[in-house]
Amino acid sequence: MTRDTRELGSAWRKFQRHSFPTPSPDLARYVARYWVVSWDYPEPYRQLIVPYPNVHLTFQDRRATVSGVSSGYQVKVLAGRSGVFGVAFRPGCFQPFLGGPVSAITDRSIDAREVFGPDLPDAPDVAAVERLLRAHLPEPDPRAWEAADIVAEIAANPRITRVDALAADVGASVRQLQRLFAEYVGIGPKWVIRRYRLHEVTERLAAGADPDWASLAAELGYADQAHFVRDFKEMFSESPTRYAQRY
């Protein structure tokens, strides 16, 4: 299959601009980061978007949307000159705003007015969005912080490859951990572990590594290379070797 050359060797950077403003200290408990993307594509471009366990609030073309965690990759078509302002909430920390299980919006997008009411900023920037968030700031919820801390530990610790071991580490049963993630994160702990272990693969590819795939699969806790490749394709739409061409 012929490949769009704009996907290769990070050539997409010629057409897109990214920035990641830092949230104010009083909101950093809820917000992981803001992200601002603009693009200028004379010809439509199919942008691969890989998932993370974050809920996003996005503003684009005078419309605001809340998107739950996506269980798999997405492809969005970018065309012409446009852009988007986004809020990535810390995993687990959107539930107090939503007031219900985050799993209810997994693989879904809803109108942001359902959560934040009708008074949304027409021209979103950091200051305007932070005023909105402060106006709807929920009561502190220790369970949200607990979920966020567990996800952060998964991300930081490459030795975490199994849910039962993680549950033992945090002093919970597997079922308790699954219920916590369904309520606050929106997707299960097994998926989160797999996502961050595969993220380590993409970081190595971006750094120019040429891994031994069988050894890497074993390192990540897979029974064999075939299961690793299957999971990678489900998450990133293509095989590890084909994905490596993006760098």
**Interval 124-156: pLDDT, tens:** 999 999 999 999 999 999 999 999 999 999 999
DSSP, res 104: G
Task: State the Cα–Cα distance between residues 189 and 53, nearest whole angstrom.
Answer: 10
**Interval 23-56: pLDDT, tens:** 999 999 999 999 999 999 999 999 989 999 999 9
Question: Tell me, what's the pLDDT at 54?
Answer: 98
The hierarchical CATH code for the domain 142-244 is 1.10.10.60
Task: State the Cα–Cα distance between residues 102 and 68, nearest whole angstrom.
Answer: 7
C-alpha distance from residue 214 to each of 53, 168, 207, 219, 222 (Å): 27, 28, 19, 9, 9
Return the HEC string of 19-38: ECCCCCCCCCCCEEEEEEEE
Q: Which two tokens stand for residue 44?
A: 């439509």
Predicted TM-score of the model (pTM): 0.92
Query: What are the domain boundaries of the chain?
Result: 5-135, 142-244
Q: Which two tokens stand for residue 46?
A: 């199919």
Task: State the Cα–Cα distance between residues 83 and 125, nearest whole angstrom.
Answer: 12
What's the one-letter identity of residue 68? G
